[in-house]
Amino acid sequence: MTTTTFEPKIVGFLCNWCSYTGADLAGISRKKFAPNVRVVRVMCSGRVEPSFVMKAFESGADGVVILGCHPGDCHYAEGNYKTLRRYPLLKKTLAQLGVEDERVRLEWVSASEGDRFAAIVNEMTEQVRRLGPFHQNRGKNVKA
Amino acid sequence: MEERRIGVYVCHCGSNIADTVDCAQVAEYAKDLPNVVVSRDYKYMCSEPGQNLIKDDIKQNKLNRVVVASCSPRMHEPTFRRALQDAGLNQYFFEMANIREHCSWVHTDRAAATQKAKALVSAAVRRVYHHEPLEAREVPVNPNVLVMGGGVAGIQAAIEVADSGNLVYLVEKEPSIGGHMAMFDKTFPTLDCAACILTPKMTIAGQHPNIKLLSYSEVEDVSGYIGNFKVRIKKKARFIDEDKCTGCGRCQEICPTKVASEFEQGLGQRKAVYKPFPQAVPNKVVIDAVNCRHLKGRAQGKDICRICQKGIPNKSIAGCETGAINFDQKDEILEVDVGNIIVATGFQQFDPSVIYQYGYGHLPNVVTGLQFERISNASGPTNGEILLASGKKPEAVAILHCVGSRDANYHKYCSRVCCMYSLKYSHLLREKLPDADVYQLYIDMRCAGSGYEEFYERLQEEGVNFIRGRAGEITDTAESPEEKDKLIVLVEDTLVRRKRRLPVDMVILSCALKPRADTEKMARTFGLSRKADGFFLEKHPKLDPVATVTDGVFIVGCCQGPKDIPDTVAQASAAAARALALISKGKVEIEAATATIDEEHCAGCKVCIELCPFKAISYDETKKVSRVNEAVCKGCGVCVAACPSGAIKGKHFTDEQIMSEIEGVLV
Amino acid sequence: MEQRKNFVEEISAIPGGEGIRLCIQCGTCTASCPNADKMEYTPSEIIALARAGYRHEVLSSHSMWYCLSCYLCTVRCPRGINPTELMHALESIATKEGLSPHHRTLTPAMYRSFTDFVYSLGSLPELGFMTWYYLLTNPLRGLRLMPVVLSLIRHGRLSVKARRLTPEGTKQLKAIVEKAEALGGAH
Amino acid sequence: MKASYFPGCSSSEGGAKAYGSSSQAVSKVLDTELVELEDWNCCGSTPYSSFDELTSLALSARNLALAKKKGKDLVTPCSSCYVMLNRTNAYLKQYPKVKAQVDEALAAGGLRYNGTVRVRHLLDVFVNDIGYDAITAKVKKNLAGLKVAAYYGCQVVRPKFGFDHPENPQSLDKLIESLGGEAVSFPLKSRCCGGSLVISEENIALDLSRKLLDSARSNGAECIATVCPLCQTNLDVYQSRVNKKFNTDFKIPILFFTQLMGIAFGLGEKELGFKTNIVSAGKVLAKYA
């Protein structure tokens, strides 16, 4: 790897109960992973509006991960099912706006899955790095 | 709109953050962020001097918004919110940037980590700009407590809460409380008999005026929140009128159906109508519908047996004299309200038959730890005589440690108690069979506990053969005359680097303690998370070991991880104290971050009503708008995200707050 | 100290050797090994020695040459280590460095003659292989085995002609094998 | 059904010819054509992996690359080939570095391999693809009363590429029963026969073989069925050496499981090649032949 490696900026929307706790666990157990994902905490992945994702790309993100509790484990009983149902719609809209499929990813991470969180961050970073930057000019036509 | 005056505080957390993040640089950077009037870095922000920094700045520099960049908000958000309150600022004018768990602890490149820390700080600053004052709501705490599980942990917790004058619902799925401890013979290292110390507690729990004992029952559903849970409990049909049954035991004498006894670990038998063991609490029998001839007959519309009820007239044997037997009994559903829940569901013994090479299930006289407890127990199937299946006394016995524990193929964790109970078995063997050779095969002796190492030493004196090595297999294929009709244990004695073949008559497998099969179901019912090893996850492994991610729900004993009786009882008392603290306070503060609907913009489409998991939104027919009941709303924000007309606002997670945070992380 | 570090790293770097750091010396591998009692060092002892840096002792021992590749240790190891492959790894290092103890076990020679044939023919003609091996090691032992050999011939179990690949196949195989060796193999 | 077939050296023109021919014949009866992989090379077996890991992997990779063109599965009757080929698949997946090197080596021979070929043991195909009932359906001479020790050896069940339990396999027992025979209890069914060390360390191998023969006989077996050429060789060819060394009097026929199936299917000497069995199976099988 050369010094000019592209370092993607990725926004991570994490639900407070499972995924954020899982990310904390990764920290407590000193797992090492790529610094590219910056976390925005929401109470439930169900709170993540498509406009948030658009906003992220508009503001210069190269990728977005949405992490929630495993289906059935949602602190709010079924919030993450809502997320799941809304997700394909989001993907479609993004596709229309020319955002590659691989730039957005929805995953379940429980409070005990620190390793999994670290793994997902690394995978996603690599994945987006391969895609290259999400150019501003394309960013423009993404309006939140 | 009032001018925003933001203070930023970057914590070193000793070296935890400062080692990987250049805190001074981050603080310097924050100075130039919009509306920031003070920006400092300090060694320990959570310390008193640290908090005073904030308080003084609020007074002197007229701060009206505060950002602390340090650990996870799950750790210290309450601490700093309190600091703001003390300085007369609304606690919600605070935002935290997690630059420890999410940054310094997980990255190695100092430059990159510092860069990320800056981004997280800028996000917090942009977000806090839009924070609004909120009032934390207080709700009364229901003083009743639910204890799930009637083992030693549940019994201890229930008694302590009940003694304080509060009502406890003690729910046990088996016909009697007592759990695993009731099966044990002696307890290490003191060797006092388990029954002698447990049964008195069982009786107290059974007779306590403040304990409502619900045996043979299951919790089906839990709703509500800390201080105000609603619990639905299923009381399984016992086919016995508990008020009439005296536990005399006549019915189980005359019942013609014999089945293997769960309590005796399959070594003894019980009847279809039975009490699991003589000291059972409640002292009532139960009819096992799966095996009862009459109940099975009923399924096919036949009316047979009923011997327990009618006796055998022609042999002038009387049936139940109190008329307690009621074949028509149905499952009952109870709804109870409680303010706290203590989960004490315990563990399950690892089934060693999956380790085929150890022979359990196909070689005779290979037994599990619990089976040996029963064999050695005076009230067990052999009245405490240690005998082989053949009825003969064993001349040599091997005890294998770490069966299913410390094993990548099964459970990676150490079960913590096996070394000690194996020592206990050795002692019982040396005591009851002084002429028998006892081999204890260990990988490491783990005897951490008061009097434990001393107990190990005592067993060395008692002449146990300790072999440092893990058995590879147990075979009955003899290779020499002295191996004939023996179980041969293959092991490397790693201290002399010799592969040895030990001919023995009995092998005891010290099996792992594993999470119960129903752990996942329980986790869902009670809103708990699980650790990688499958046990329930505590709120903080060190500082909050009995609380959980769900406020008001506590975990104690082996459902949280393998542990011995002293630790289990200590946790039980701890959880009881936590519950009582809340009860004596009488009220609990709950998140103010709920949803509200702006009636001006609400189109009355009712989408939110469909989506709300808590039925917190109702429809106002007259005004044709939806309305949120904030007492029920938990602030998940699902409705906020879904509202087509943007009329719903998620307090403390408003669109503009989140949007500006997104901008922030991407600088 | 340095040496210890290097040897453990050297082994960990070889496929199958990576588990060596995880060993807890429980002896399950030895207890499961059909040949452990014939070995100079038991399998678990080999690991202990390797970690302690006794490189020469390990590589010149005949322990790994007694490994039968029955994989009992591998399926039973509570740390998920793969002692069988670890043994193979040690064998290949020993071979490369000419440390295999020919005077104490014939297995290296047997393996050598085996691989010689596979190398040159791409297949293994048993008769040729056996003769070659006994010539290399101990012709007399070969003679003692004559009864066995004869019965094999009598029952038509020793074909004299060796199976050959097509010329193209042979060429292709050579190219592949030579490349593999150029990339760090032996021979 | 057609299946790409990798006989391995001994089952093609080596000492286990009979295994090869009986495998072909029995498969035909079960409407399965074993199409031999063209121009395959020796898998290198344990010796090569102990001698030069990378080259050993390259050897197997070549076979897999050739098989890739022929379809998804590659079937072999030899336990050693089974392990070497499977192991190569596993390594290429697990170790990117190794894969890179193997790819380079293959490229030198103008080949590419992406790890898609599934390596199967013939026993696996028989019991799991074709199934016991289909096998029973083809039985002409029920093997009723024949007491067989089902011997798996090591590498068909270990390490865990296996389709059967690594310590207590059952598939061959069930197969024998589906032929009408009786699979006797055989605790050592998955223990080692001594493998190739029979050549370099004969005493060790003979001792292990003795234990197997002993256990089989004391459990009442009239013959032993094997799924591996080397196991058969050690127990059959070296049985006389065992008797000599331990002055025992074993006379236990060691059959390839496909020979046993052949008998039940009513096939003849030509396909089953019993004359290559050193310890004659004539007596034991008389009532079925």
Helix axes D53-68, D79-94, angle to 10 degrees: 100
B199-241 pLDDT tens trace: 999 999 999 999 999 999 999 999 888 999 999 999 999 999 9
Q: pLDDT-derived band of residue C164, with 50, 70 and 90 as boundaries?
A: confident
For chain B, say whether C91 makes contact (Cβ under 8 Å): no
For chain D, say whether B444 makes contact (Cβ under 8 Å): no
Question: Which of B109, B653, B662 lies closest to A56 in CB terms?
Answer: B662
Question: Which of C33, C76, C78 lies closest to B406 in CB terms?
Answer: C78
Residues B509 and B529 in one domain: no
Structural domain includes residue B663: no
d(C-alpha D8, C-alpha C122), whole Å: 11
Which residues does chain B have within 8 Å of residue D165's beta carbon, measured at their own beta carbons? 356
**Res A139: pLDDT:** 47
Question: Which of D167, D211, D215 lies closest to B357 in CB terms?
Answer: D167
Domain count within chain B: 5
When the pLDDT of each residue in chain D is averaged and rounded to a whole number, the result is: 95
Q: pLDDT-derived band of residue D20, with 50, 70 and 90 as boundaries?
A: very high
Across the interface, whether the CB atoms of B476 and D187 are under 8 A apart is answered yes
The minimum CA-CA distance between B373 and chain C, rounded to whole Å, is 26
D49-76 pLDDT tens trace: 888 889 999 999 999 999 998 888 999 9
**Running DSSP on this structure, what letter comes out for residue B150?**
-
**Res D87: pLDDT:** 95
d(C-alpha B648, C-alpha B654), whole Å: 9
Question: Residue B371 sits in a domain of what CATH number?
Answer: 3.50.50.60
Residue A3 has pLDDT above 90, yes or no: no
Show which of residues 348-367 on chain B sit within 8 Å of chain C, judged by CB atoms.
357
The mean pLDDT value for B124-143 works out to 93
Q: pLDDT-derived band of residue B156, with 50, 70 and 90 as boundaries?
A: very high
Residue B284 has pLDDT above 70, yes or no: yes
Across the interface, whether the CB atoms of C184 and D101 are under 8 A apart is answered yes
Residues B304 and B361 in one domain: no
Kindly write down the DSSP assignment for every residue of chain A, as one continuous string. Answer: --TT-----EEEEEETTTHHHHHHHHHHTT----TTEEEEEES-GGG--HHHHHHHHHTT-SEEEEEEPPTT--TTSSHHHHHHHHHHHHHHHHHHTT--GGGEEEEE--TT-HHHHHHHHHHHHHHHHHH----HHHHHH---
d(C-alpha B183, C-alpha B195), whole Å: 8
Which chain B residue's Cα is nearest to C32? Answer: B472
For chain B, say whether C21 makes contact (Cβ under 8 Å): no
Structural domain includes residue B355: yes
Structural domain includes residue B16: yes
Which residues does chain A have within 8 Å of residue B74's beta carbon, measured at their own beta carbons? 20-21, 24
Residues B521 and B509 in one domain: no
Across the interface, whether the CB atoms of D14 and C124 are under 8 A apart is answered yes
Cβ-count burial B639-664 (b if 16+ within 10 Å, e if not): bbbbbeeebbbbbbbbbebbbbbbbb
The mean pLDDT value for D107-115 works out to 94
**Res B632: pLDDT:** 78
Structural domain includes residue B245: no
The minimum CA-CA distance between B648 and chain C, rounded to whole Å, is 54
Residues B430 and B358 in one domain: yes
The mean pLDDT value for D149-154 works out to 98
Contact (Cβ atoms closer than 8 angstroms) between residue B144 and residue B336? yes
Residues B358 and B469 in one domain: yes
Structural domain includes residue B375: yes
**Res A144: pLDDT:** 47
**Running DSSP on this structure, what letter comes out for residue B618?**
E
Q: How far is CA C112 from CA B423, C51, C125, C129, D44, in A?
A: 51, 28, 14, 10, 11
Across the interface, whether the CB atoms of B475 and D168 are under 8 A apart is answered no
Pick from D78, D4, D3: nearest CA to D44: D78
**Res C1: pLDDT:** 40
C95-148 pLDDT tens trace: 888 888 888 888 998 888 888 888 888 888 877 787 778 877 877 777 788 888
**Among A105-109, B517-521, B525-529, which is the least confidently predicted range?**
B525-529
d(C-alpha B387, C-alpha D275), whole Å: 54
Residue type, B489: V
Question: Which of D45, D58, D155 lies closest to C180 in CB terms?
Answer: D58
Across the interface, whether the CB atoms of C172 and D201 are under 8 A apart is answered no
Question: Which of B112, B529, B611 lies closest to A18 in CB terms?
Answer: B529
**Res A136: pLDDT:** 53
d(C-alpha B25, C-alpha B11), whole Å: 12
Which of B136, B164, B183 delimits the end of a domain?
B136
Residue B541 has pLDDT above 90, yes or no: no
Domains of chain D, each with CATH number or no CATH = 2-122 (1.20.1050.140), 139-288 (3.40.50.11810)
Domains of chain C, each with CATH number or no CATH = 2-96 (1.10.1060.10), 107-182 (no CATH)
Question: Complex ipTM, two decimals?
Answer: 0.87
- Residue D40 tokens, joined: 């395959």
The mean pLDDT value for A17-42 works out to 93
Residues B605 and B564 in one domain: no
Which chain A residue's Cα is nearest to B651? Answer: A43
The mean pLDDT value for B181-208 works out to 96
The mean pLDDT value for D134-153 works out to 97
Across the interface, whether the CB atoms of A112 and B119 are under 8 A apart is answered no
Residue B366 lies in domain: 349-513
- Residue A91 tokens, joined: 């993907």
Residues B263 and B285 in one domain: yes
Residues B369 and B473 in one domain: yes
The minimum CA-CA distance between B529 and chain A, rounded to whole Å, is 6
Across the interface, whether the CB atoms of A55 and B653 are under 8 A apart is answered no
Across the interface, whether the CB atoms of B477 and D215 are under 8 A apart is answered yes
Burial class (CB in 10 A: 0-12, 13-18, 19+), D111: buried
Residues B159 and B107 in one domain: no
Residues B500 and B397 in one domain: yes
B410-437 pLDDT tens trace: 999 999 999 999 999 999 999 999 999 9
Question: Which of D110, D201, D241 lies closest to C106 in CB terms?
Answer: D201
Mutate to test the interface with C, among D39, D55, D201, D279 (most CBs of C within 10 A): D55
The mean pLDDT value for B357-380 works out to 97
**Res A2: pLDDT:** 43
B10-58 pLDDT tens trace: 999 999 999 999 999 999 999 999 999 999 999 999 999 999 999 999 9
Which chain C residue's Cα is nearest to B490? Answer: C31
Residues B364 and B474 in one domain: yes
B377-399 pLDDT tens trace: 999 999 999 999 999 999 999 99
When the pLDDT of each residue in chain C is averaged and rounded to a whole number, the result is: 88
More confident residue, A132 or C121: A132
Structural domain includes residue B664: no
Which of B94, B120, B136 delimits the end of a domain?
B136
Structural domain includes residue B661: no
For chain B, say whether D211 makes contact (Cβ under 8 Å): yes
**Res B183: pLDDT:** 97
Which residues does chain B have within 8 Å of residue A1's beta carbon, measured at their own beta carbons? none
Residues B449 and B506 in one domain: yes
Which residues does chain D have within 8 Å of residue B357's beta carbon, measured at their own beta carbons? 167
**Res B279: pLDDT:** 94
Which chain C residue's Cα is nearest to B469? Answer: C26
Contact (Cβ atoms closer than 8 angstroms) between residue B536 and residue A111? no
Which of B91, B120, B136 delimits the end of a domain?
B136
**Res C187: pLDDT:** 38
Residue B322 has pLDDT above 90, yes or no: yes
Kindly write down the DSSP assignment for every residue of B404-459, as one continuous string. Answer: SSS-TTS--S--SSHHHHHHHHHHHHHHH-TTSEEEEEESS----STTHHHHHHHH
Residue B91 has pLDDT above 60, yes or no: yes
Show which of residues 224-243 on chain D sit within 8 Å of chain C, judged by CB atoms.
237-238, 240-241
Structural domain includes residue B464: yes
Across the interface, whether the CB atoms of B593 and A44 are under 8 A apart is answered no
The minimum CA-CA distance between B361 and chain D, rounded to whole Å, is 13
Which residues does chain C have within 8 Å of residue D46's beta carbon, measured at their own beta carbons? 69, 88, 111
Q: pLDDT-derived band of residue A77, with 50, 70 and 90 as boundaries?
A: low
Distance of CA D158 to the CA centre of its chain: 13
d(C-alpha B340, C-alpha B338), whole Å: 6
Contact (Cβ atoms closer than 8 angstroms) between residue B212 and residue B167? yes
The mean pLDDT value for D131-140 works out to 97
More confident residue, A50 or B168: B168
Contact (Cβ atoms closer than 8 angstroms) between residue B617 and residue B175? no
**Res B659: pLDDT:** 96
Could you tell me what percent of chain A has a pLDDT over 90?
A: 53
Could you tell me what percent of chain C has a pLDDT over 70?
A: 96
Mutate to test the interface with C, among B494, B501, B507 (most CBs of C within 10 A): B494
Q: pLDDT-derived band of residue C185, with 50, 70 and 90 as boundaries?
A: low
D177-216 pLDDT tens trace: 999 999 999 999 999 999 999 999 999 999 999 999 999 9
